[in-house]
Structure 1
Amino acid sequence: MDKKLVIVYAILISLFTIAYPFMKSSESYLTEVNQDNELDQKIKCGPIPDRNLQDMKKKQNKANIIFTMDDGWDTQYTKAFPILKEKGMKGSIAVIPTKVGTSGYMSLSQLNTLYSSGWDLMNHTYSHHHLAHLSKQKQKKELSQGRTWLNNHCYKRASDIAVYPYGSYNQDTLNILQEEHYRSARTVIDGIQSNNLKKYEVPTINLLPSTNVEWVKEQIDMAIQTKQTIVFTNHRFDKEADAAQMNFDPAKFKEIVNYVDSKKDQLNILTYSEWLDIKGIH
C-alpha cells in the first residue's frame, strides 16, 4: 500500500478515536432531550377526561348516528362544522398529518378548534397510502406515526381509532390493530352497523353526489326501528360534483342533519369515540 495512504488512514482512525466519545455523548444527550420533550408533551396534554358513565348507560338502548369525515379537507371546517354546530352536534375527522396546513386541507388551528369543541380526530395513517399494498412493517409504521402525531398534538381522544385510506386493508392490517390495541377501525364498505360489531371492519354510509337524501332518511328511520348504528362518511363539501365524485352538496348535508335533529329523542348523535364508550370498547 502507498505510504501516503497509510498515513491518511492512520490520521482518520486517530481522529475517529478522539471524536467517538463525544459522538456517543451527543447521541445520549439528544436521546435525553427527546425523552424530556416527550415527557413535557405528556404533561402539557394531560389526561383524557372521563365521560359520565351514567349518561352512557342511558344511551345504550337507542340507535346511533355518527358523522365522520375523511382526510381533513378545509370545507369540512368551513361548511360542515357550522351546520353541525348550529344543531349542537359534533363530528369525527380522519386526519392525514402530512396534509395538515397544505392547500385544500385544514390548518392546525382549525383542528384545534374542532377538538376543543368536542370533535374526534382519528388516525387516517401518516401519509395516506393503500395499506393493503404495503408490507406489514410499513403498515405498522404508517399507523404508528399517525397515532404518534395525534398524541403529540394533544389529540388523544381518538388517536387509537383507525380509518383505512381508500378503504384498503388486509389481514396484516387487522393483526396490527389487534396487536397494537386499537379500539376500532372504519371501512368504506356501505351498510348500517348491526349490533354484531366487528370492531375493525365497521361499515359506513358514504354521502356522495349521487346519494338520494330521501333514501338516507329511510336508512335513519330503519336504524331507529332496529336500534342500530349509522356511520356517515363525507369528504369535500361542494355543490358541484367533481371528477372523483367524492364531494357532497352542503345543502343536502344540512337537510340530513336537520332530519337527524328532528329525530334526536329517538337516537344518539355521537362522535366515534363516544359510540365506543357506550359499547364498552376500550
Structure 2
Amino acid sequence: MEPAPREYGEIPGGNRTHADIRQESSRCCARSSKGLFRAHLTLGKGGHVLKKLYSAFVIVAICLSVLMYPGTYARLYHGLIDIFVLLRLSNFSSRDLPFTAVDQAKTPVVFIFDDGWSSVYSDAYPLMKRYGYRGNIAVIPGMVREREYMSYSQLAELYMDGWDILNHSYSHLEDMYFRCDEMLSEYLHAREWLNRHFFTRGINMIVTPMGECNPYLIPLLIEKGFQSIRTSDNVLLLRRNEATYFPVKTIHLLTDVSTETALAELMACWSSDNAAAVLFNLQRINDTDDLTQISFTPQKLAALIEFIHANEDKFQVVTYSCLLDKRSCHSLRL
C-alpha cells in the first residue's frame, strides 16, 4: 500500500512542521541563555572573591619579599630616585649660577672636602650655606651611596647649589704611585662617571688619592685633556706640554688641628707678601674620631667660617674652579 502523499511543510516521522521545529528551537535557546546567564552571575561573584584573594596574595608576597630581600628593593628605590635626579641635572646649567669673580684685593679661601663623606652634607653644607659660601667635593664615584658616603641626590643638591664636584679617581686605590697607566685609567673612569651623571664642572680637575702624583703621569694626563692636579701640598695647572705651579697654601684640617692654629695660618697667608690663596683640606666632619685622624669637628669648622665671615674685607670664599680660572701663576716647562 502506498503511503499517503505528504503535505508541504510536513516532516517525516511525525506530524511536526518546520514552523513547529523553529519554535521549539527558540524555546531551547532561551532556556540555554537563561542558564548561561545564571552561570555567569555565579562565576562573576566567585571571580570577584578570587580577585580579592589574588590581590591579598600579591600584597603579602611583596611584603615577604621586602623582608627577605631588602637590598633589592632598596636598590630599586634608589634607582628610581637617581632617574629623577638625572633628569633634573640634565636640565641644569652652571650658567644659571651667580657669577663670582675673585677679588684681587682679598685672599681667596677654598674649602675642599675629600672623599665625599655624608657628614659634609649633613654638617658642613648647612653651615656654609648660612653665609652664602660654596665648597668643593673631591668625590670617589665607586663609593657613592656606600655607608657614610653621600648619595647621588645629595651630591646633585650641592652641585646645583654651586659646589664643585672634583675628580678624586674612581676607587681611591692605595700603592698606585708607580702604576701610572692604572692610575690614568682610574681618573678616566671617574671622569666618565662624572660626565654620565652630569657633574661636568670640575670634571677635569684631579685631586690625587693619598696626595701623591708621579711626574711621569703628568704628560699622560695632559694628553687626555685634564686641566689641573691637586696634590697634598701643591696645585698644578696643566696646559699643553707644561705644568704650572699655582700659588696656594694648603692647610690640612685634621683631628689634632685646633681652631687657633688654623686661624693663625690663615692670618699669616693674608699678611704675607706672596698673597697666596688658602686651601683648607678636610675630610670627615664629626665630633668623634675613629683613630684615622681625618675628622674635624663641626664646632671648629663653625668657628673658622664665622671668623672668615667677620673678616670678609680680608678674605673671600670661592670655589676651586673659580679660583683656578681667575688667577695667574708661574709656569714650569716639562
What TM-score do the two structures reach when normalised by structure 1? 0.75
Contact kept, 8 Å, 1:161 with 1:183, in 2: the verdict is yes
In the other structure, the counterpart of 2:107 is 63
- The alpha-carbon deviation at position 134 of structure 1 amounts to 4.9
Contact kept, 8 Å, 2:111 with 2:281, in 1: the verdict is yes
In the other structure, the counterpart of 1:102 is 146
Match of 1:118 among 162, 172, 186: 162
Q: Secondary structure at the match of 2:216?
A: helix
Contact kept, 8 Å, 1:131 with 1:165, in 2: the verdict is no
- The alpha-carbon deviation at position 128 of structure 1 amounts to 0.6
Give the distance between the partners of 1:128 and 1:212, measured in 2 at CA. Answer: 28
- The alpha-carbon deviation at position 169 of structure 1 amounts to 1.8
Unaligned runs of 5+ in 2: 1-86, 236-243, 330-334
> Does residue 211 of structure 1 match 2:257?
yes
- The alpha-carbon deviation at position 126 of structure 1 amounts to 0.7
Once the two structures are superposed, the pairs formed by residues 79-228 of structure 1 within 5 Å of their partners are: 79-130=123-174, 132-189=176-233, 198-199=245-246, 204-226=250-272, 227-228=275-276
Give the distance between the partners of 2:97 and 2:323, measured in 1 at CA. Answer: 12
> Does residue 277 of structure 1 match 2:325?
yes
Q: CA distance change for structure 1 residues 190 and 249 in 2, over 3 Å: closer, same or farther?
A: farther
Q: Which digits, 9 at most, give the CA deviation of each residue in 1:127-168, with x for residues without a partner?
A: 111374453221211111111111111111101110111112
How many residues were matched structurally? 233
Q: Secondary structure at the match of 1:198?
A: strand
Match of 1:258 among 274, 288, 306: 306
- The alpha-carbon deviation at position 179 of structure 1 amounts to 2.2
Q: Which amino acid aligns with 1:117?
A: D
- The alpha-carbon deviation at position 60 of structure 1 amounts to 2.7
Q: Secondary structure at the match of 1:189?
A: coil
In the other structure, the counterpart of 1:19 is none
**Highest RCO, 1 vs 2 (Cα 8 Å, sep ≥ 6):** 1
Q: Which amino acid aligns with 2:308?
A: V
Contact kept, 8 Å, 1:68 with 1:232, in 2: the verdict is yes
Q: Which amino acid aligns with 2:120?
A: Q
Q: Which digits, 9 at most, give the CA deviation of each residue in 1:212-241, with x for residues without a partner?
A: 211211122122223221111111111122
Q: CA distance change for structure 1 residues 51 and 76 in 2, over 3 Å: closer, same or farther?
A: closer
Q: Which digits, 9 at most, give the CA deviation of each residue in 1:49-95, with x for residues without a partner?
A: 29888x63x61342110000000000010011111111110100000
- Percent pairwise identity: 31
- The alpha-carbon deviation at position 278 of structure 1 amounts to 1.2
Contact kept, 8 Å, 1:186 with 1:204, in 2: the verdict is no
Per mean C-alpha deviation after superposition, the further-off stretch among 265-274 and 70-79 is 265-274
Give the distance between the partners of 1:185 and 1:225, measured in 2 at CA. Answer: 27
Give the distance between the partners of 1:231 and 1:62, measured in 2 at CA. Answer: 14
Q: Which amino acid aligns with 2:300?
A: K
In the other structure, the counterpart of 1:32 is none
Contact kept, 8 Å, 2:180 with 2:214, in 1: the verdict is no
Q: Which amino acid aligns with 2:260?
A: E
> Does residue 248 of structure 1 match 2:292?
no
Contact kept, 8 Å, 1:187 with 1:203, in 2: the verdict is no
Once the two structures are superposed, the pairs formed by residues 24-63 of structure 1 within 5 Å of their partners are: 44=90, 48-49=94-95, 56=101, 59-63=103-107
The two structures, once aligned, show a CA RMSD in angstroms of: 2.7
Per mean C-alpha deviation after superposition, the further-off stretch among 62-71 and 218-227 is 218-227
- The alpha-carbon deviation at position 175 of structure 1 amounts to 2.2
Match of 1:238 among 262, 286, 297: 286
Q: Secondary structure at the match of 2:172?
A: coil
